[in-house]
Amino acid sequence: MRRIVHLTWVYRVIIVFILAISGGFFYAYGMQTFSDNFQVGISLEKNSEIHPEDPIIIKFSSAVRPKSYDGKIKIIPSTSAKLDWKESGKKLIITPDRFWKPENDYSIDLGSGQSRFFLDNDSISFDFSTVDYPRVANFSPADGSHDVLLDIEDPIVVDLDKSAKDFFIKFDVNPTVEVAYENNPEKTQFRLLPQGQFKDGQKYEVKISTKYAGDKEDNYQEIYSSGFETLPPKPLTWDKNFSVRIEQAKTYTRAKILEGKYIDINLSAQIMSIFENGILLDSYIISSGKRGMETPSGTHAIANKFPRAWSKKYGLYMPYWMAITPSGSYGIHELPEWPGGYKEGAAHLGIPVSHGCVRLGIGPAKRVYDWAEIGTPVVVY
């Protein structure tokens, strides 16, 4: 009987031992399954075309303990940023103290942290890229062009592949010439003209640079370079001094119409003279149509007048407009203006550079406009 009792006690110890082992196994298996089921998913909301001041948003599938990530978040290249936890630890917003550099690749290394259940989250890394700088899609005149004659109707035209509203654009001309420029409302096109005059037969290089508008430093990035050569000087039969040339015109120009008013335009001299009853009243330097777009010769007449006409074709104002053809394709007017008020072309008076119209300088244009009437003959030769 004692033997049986003794064996029973041994069996009981063995059973307890077996149960203890199996219980531990099932406990460990259960904890592993629990951990797997509560593993936190981590994702980046957006990883491309990031604006320089846009926040980077990291999302967590379930809440984490923000403190567990202290000192474990690294931005490459190193960038100072503000970390802001939202939604009780389900969202991390990373905002640069200044801005992300355009056209750059970044990485965010997120070290291991803990979920709200104190379970470990593996470390993870995310990559993102910022917006590109604007690029030059088209530049006119084309690189390497010769015999270039820039004018308000034929300025340098720069077309960008996207809006430059968030960027500063800088234009550098070598040899140095100060330029005036105007852009369209979308800031996708810029038109440039020298504030002085380009030298005849001179090679010029234009460099275009840009930087983010929020960058307070001089961190311009060159995005384009082009070169062209201006039209060389051509020999003139009239005196190069315009004052002398006007006096020459007054001396040698003879009236072609002896009754009433008429306007006399000498294309070779680039001179306009106004006559009344065969008497010369005054002469002015003009700029007529360039080669291939010549002002039409012949006898015309003032078809219509308007003090400040708008050219939809060229996007320019034509002050003191007087049409000399019924279609209105050709006319006499003051130096054209951009909508922003910039007026150009004074340096080209005496040179045929227009697209067919006859330009007058400031002062003479109003004088002729006020003097001429609709129907006044215009003789062009």
- Which domains occur in the chain, in start order? 42-129 (2.60.40.3710), 136-230 (2.60.40.1220), 242-380 (2.40.440.10)
Q: How far apart, in whole angstroms, are the C-alpha atoms of residue 154 and residue 156?
A: 7
Rounded-to-integer distance, Cα 306 and Cα 333, Å:
10
> What is the predicted pLDDT for the residue at 27?
41
What pLDDT does residue 39 have? 77
281/23 Cα distance (integer angstroms): 120
pLDDT, mean of each 10-residue run, the chain (381 residues): 43 50 45 57 96 97 96 96 97 97 97 94 97 98 94 94 97 94 96 89 97 95 97 77 92 93 96 97 97 97 98 95 96 96 91 97 98 98 97
Q: What is the pLDDT of residue 6?
A: 45
- Whole-structure pTM value: 0.77
The Cα 13–Cα 31 span in angstroms is 27
Question: Phi, psi at residue 255, to the nearest 5°?
Answer: -65, 135
How many angstroms separate the CA atoms of 316 and 112, rounded? Answer: 63
Question: φ and ψ at 244, to 5 degrees?
Answer: -65, -40
DSSP strand pairing (304-311 vs 298-301): unpaired
CA–CA gap between residue 175 and residue 203 (Å, rounded): 8
Residue/partner pairs of 238-247 with CB below 8 Å, 24 or more apart = 238/268, 238/269, 238/270, 238/271, 242/285, 242/349, 242/350, 245/269, 245/271, 245/285, 245/350, 246/271, 246/283, 246/284, 246/285
State the pLDDT at residue 3: 41
Cα–Cα dist 369/363, whole Å: 10
Question: Taking the chain, what is the end-to-end CA distance rounded to the nearest angstrom?
Answer: 146
Output the pLDDT for position 37.
Answer: 54
